[in-house]
Chain A
């Protein structure tokens, strides 16, 4: 065990910091859940790509740096500390990208990864359906092979598709065996959102922006080459993707360490130094964020030494989402009357509070995660 950074790690950190200092926009960009914000975030992603920082953990040939998880974590720490914009490309680069690298064909890697890394193509995810939320295996959207066997014909409806309003592509699973039930007979398919028959209907979220959408598929035709993994293997491919999402990649600890540092600064700036209750609460939160950081470093070392991450990713998901919510609830307490103002100097805290409320819901509700932990880590009997 050695928790000091090697010379190589320090050098990598310094390189990332220098680039970010020179390139991060001085003013925060508008939310990427608005049209203007989406465009500006896509431009920022292109700049990141130019510096080869958009997908550091990917292989070099697809626009990455071939960085291991540890270097990726170091980059993430520098990224969030620099105040850089949120990642409008996250569904692609952090979720779909690693899955394509794992199960995609060489042709698929060459076709999708470079455009994903540069954000020439931004991806939306299309998992949930109106009757398939936490119970994702009950999806009903169908894929039928065309008569000549060259195309999927897609019909059905997806919902809560983040980024879908302005994204270029989406990915999701479809029932391709009409006689199948539950986890069988599903296929993972990649779909251009400008295909004839696709209708995207924005849904205003709690903050009023249209961050997610419904997607309707009416006889949408895509080539069978757009199948990721085998026909009928969609559930396994989706679980690999969702595992990445909940596990290490979606929410690196640095976001929360930076949020807690901001909270501490807020407490120093406007908090009452005699308020011991708040002092304790802020300290607890610091310990949680630090605990999450350490937990991630331990997980990453385990991966680098040849171990694997399984259902433990559900433990992470509950932890970061509830910690983030707690941080923002505390900030709202500290802000007092400013907590109800949406346009003032503390706007980012109020926006952040609303966003943090989605954490325990998306990527599989925390109740589902608790079931997974109970079943697969604690080995309790299935219901």
Chain B
């Protein structure tokens, strides 16, 4: 039993964090918002160069041949930066579904972005900036080139995640022979790790503000009401973390408990992100309720991802079925 990441895995994640802190700050993210593209091609190529995008792509296809355990800390860092585009989708669901296909080398070199509609999405995120869509059709997985999609964009709450209603001609879709539940679990797990990073970022922003902002002659972070609000949020974040690591192991090693473990991870990560966003906003007071405050860039990403890849009630029900047995009357 060894519940930890290797020094290599930790160093790779630390390197990614440093790069993102330097090269993808809140103002870079705000620029993506302002142009409303939901994508940053310079960042995308930088991530490809570092090997981040191809971590789970086999070496034969130009990737690093890693597994979910190698990847999960990287996704957390991408969440901490709220990296735009279908980044965790491409790295995990895309890499797992498209292994050996003509798209796989492009995932590693940054020329292919993969978006997904595997859980009954009414609006597909990132379709306008992606290369290929993986969609569920009658319980099977199909790949469609995004160039072949009919698209009508809609406004989403998170401008780093552009939404479209899509349609395609049946003859443009290619069958992908992969278990859909395996892919959905990958996406749910990756979104959980991304939410964990987002949560940490929101608490860090709130901490900076609480140290800086003074009322009644002292920093507001010295007041117990503020301390306890943030301590409670941190508590939820810290207890989601090992559940996400465990689920990465369960997915990577194909454990029988994979579905339960992934659903537990997504439930806890979604709850933690909701709490972190709410608490961070409250710590900010009125300034947090402005367009100008950077907190919104991260909160809105969290609010978009909390219901994505299966709602909280979907995942709770899956945990309940595994732990308590299925409901008798369905």
List residues of A whose CB falls within 8 A of some B CB: 1-6, 9, 70, 264, 267-268, 273-274, 279-280, 282-284, 286-288, 290-292, 294-295, 297-298, 300-302, 305, 312, 315, 318-319, 367, 369-371, 373-375, 377-383
| B104 CB within 8 Å of chain A | no
| B290 CB within 8 Å of chain A | no
| B211 CB within 8 Å of chain A | yes
A134 to chain B, nearest CB (A): 12
The B contact surface, by secondary structure, is helix
- Assess A294 versus B231: contact at CB under 8 Å? Given A279-B320, A283-B320, A381-B222: no
B329 touches A380 (CB 8 A): no
B320 touches A380 (CB 8 A): no
- Assess A298 versus B4: contact at CB under 8 Å? Given A287-B319, A319-B239, A379-B211: yes
| B195 CB within 8 Å of chain A | no
The distance in angstroms between the C-alpha atoms of A273 and B327, with both chains bound, is: 7
Cβ contacts B160-178/A at 8 Å (1 or 0 each): 0000000000000000000
List of A residues within 8 angstroms of B286 by Cβ: none
| B324 CB within 8 Å of chain A | yes
| B207 CB within 8 Å of chain A | yes
List of A residues within 8 angstroms of B179 by Cβ: none
B3 touches A1 (CB 8 A): yes
B264 touches A1 (CB 8 A): no
A315 touches B221 (CB 8 A): no
17 pairs, CB–CB < 8 Å, chain A vs chain B:
A6-B1, A279-B327, A282-B324, A283-B319, A284-B316, A286-B323, A291-B242, A295-B239, A295-B242, A298-B242, A301-B1, A367-B228, A371-B228, A378-B230, A381-B219, A383-B223, A383-B224
List of B residues within 8 angstroms of A300 by Cβ: 3
Contact partner, A5, options B1, B219, B223, Cβ 8 Å: B1
Contact partner, A374, options B4, B231, B320, Cβ 8 Å: B231
- Assess A383 versus B222: contact at CB under 8 Å? Given A280-B316, A315-B238: yes
Candidate in A268, A282, A315 with the most chain B CB atoms within 10 angstroms: A315
| B69 CB within 8 Å of chain A | yes
B224 touches A3 (CB 8 A): no
A273 touches B328 (CB 8 A): yes
List residues of B whose CB falls within 8 A of some A CB: 1-5, 69, 203, 207, 210-211, 218-219, 221-224, 226-228, 230-232, 234-235, 238-243, 245-246, 248-249, 264, 267-268, 316, 319-320, 323-324, 327-329
A203 to chain B, nearest CB (A): 29
- Assess A2 versus B238: contact at CB under 8 Å? Given A374-B231, A381-B219: no
Contact partner, A319, options B235, B245, B249, Cβ 8 Å: B235
- Assess A274 versus B329: contact at CB under 8 Å? Given A1-B69, A287-B319, A374-B231: yes
List of B residues within 8 angstroms of A380 by Cβ: 207, 210-211, 219, 221-222, 226-227, 230
B1 touches A287 (CB 8 A): no
List of B residues within 8 angstroms of A264 by Cβ: 323-324
- Assess A294 versus B224: contact at CB under 8 Å? Given A2-B1, A283-B324: no
B76 to chain A, nearest CB (A): 14
B139 to chain A, nearest CB (A): 26
List of A residues within 8 angstroms of B210 by Cβ: 380-381
The distance in angstroms between the C-alpha atoms of A292 and B235, with both chains bound, is: 11
B222 touches A280 (CB 8 A): no
The distance in angstroms between the C-alpha atoms of A143 and B327, with both chains bound, is: 64
List of A residues within 8 angstroms of B223 by Cβ: 383
List of B residues within 8 angstroms of A373 by Cβ: 227, 231, 234-235
List of B residues within 8 angstroms of A267 by Cβ: 324
The distance in angstroms between the C-alpha atoms of A279 and B235, with both chains bound, is: 24
The distance in angstroms between the C-alpha atoms of A9 and B327, with both chains bound, is: 36
Candidate in A70, A284, A373, A380 with the most chain B CB atoms within 10 angstroms: A380
The distance in angstroms between the C-alpha atoms of A295 and B221, with both chains bound, is: 27
